[in-house]
Amino acid sequence: MTETLPPLLAADEPPSYSIENAHGASPFFFTCDHAGRRIPSALGDLGLGERELQRHIAWDIGAAGVMSRLAARLDAFAIAQTYSRLVVDCNRPLESPTLITPHSERTDVPGNESLSAAQRQQRIDAVFRPYHARIEAELDARRSAGRPTILVTVHSFTPVYLDVARPWQVGILYHRDARLAHALLRLIRAEGEWVVGDNEPYSVSDTSDYAIPVYGTQRGLANVELEIRQDLIAEADGQAAWAERVAAWLPKAGSAAGLL
Ligand SMILES: [Zn+2]
């Protein structure tokens, strides 16, 4: 007999996503997969202390604050995922071994070890599916309306990973469609002020990522993944400064790439 479990989220817990500028007129379309660090109360603290749950392993520090300001500046639709990536990582394919990761950097996540199929499914149903269903619905509606869409997925990275310091302030990540990414790289390098990563500190692949392969490549939408270093955007003033910068770069790069 297949085990079934009740819904993961209690009636008083927030949905798995929040939206800003639902009617934003811009072609730019923002997603933030690792915006939140909330854990559904049914999962306790996943066996981690509050200190661990505030670290980068639980969420993308500062990314939601940057995206929110960017969306306001550009009058663009934005969607942010509410729950910690440790509950279920919304930028992984369902088959990925790190979809519900039992280890992150050097931290074991006891609440993610030895999950039953039903427990895994419960997380997917509560968080992953509604978040992605909302993105799909929005992209479908824009396509039906003949509205152009340029996907920008916003992330942040830890300044030090496994003891190695990362030199970049910002990373421009892309996979098969590099139109916007290459235009951004040219523009940012031309300013002469930034150490910018070209598919650094990560690269995008079909097996390690979801948004770019599924919404960019499969739907044929121009796209880029932005990664900003967390120490620069941990506080509101840094988030505002980076949002200002990126809000200037995106339309220029989009025009240079012939997308606007
Ligand atoms: Zn991220």
pLDDT digits (tens, 9 = 90+) for 38-65: 999 999 999 999 999 999 999 999 999 9
Categorize the per-residue pLDDT at 1 as very low, low, confident or very high, splitting at 50, 70 and 90.
low
Q: Is 88 within the bounds of a domain?
A: yes
Q: Is 3 within the bounds of a domain?
A: no
> In a 10 Å sphere around its CB, with 0-12 CB exposed, 13-18 middle and 19+ buried, how is residue 130 labelled?
middle
- Residue with the two structure tokens 């933030």: 32
| Three-state SS at 206 | coil
Ligand 1 centroid vs 43 CA: distance in angstroms?
A: 22
**What pLDDT digit, counting tens, does each position of 93-137 carry?**
999 999 999 999 899 999 999 999 999 999 999 999 999 999 999
Structure tokens belonging to residue 160: 């030090």
Q: Is 203 within the bounds of a domain?
A: yes
**114: how many CB neighbours lie within 10 A of its CB?**
7
Q: Is 236 within the bounds of a domain?
A: yes
Q: In CATH, what number is assigned to the domain containing residue 86? A: 3.40.630.40
Ligand 1 centroid vs 63 CA: distance in angstroms?
A: 8
The model's pTM is: 0.97
Q: Is 7 within the bounds of a domain?
A: no
Q: Is 2 within the bounds of a domain?
A: no
Ligand 1 centroid vs 229 CA: distance in angstroms?
A: 11
Q: Is 8 within the bounds of a domain?
A: no
Q: Is 5 within the bounds of a domain?
A: no
Ligand 1 centroid vs 3 CA: distance in angstroms?
A: 32
Instruction: Provide the domain limits for residue 63.
Output: 17-256
Q: How many domains does the chain have?
A: 1
Ligand 1 centroid vs 156 CA: distance in angstroms?
A: 6
As a whole number of Å, the end-to-end CA separation of the chain is 54
Cβ burial 200-234 (10 Å sphere, 16+ → b, else e): bbeebeeeebbbbbbbbbeeebbbbbbbbbbebbe
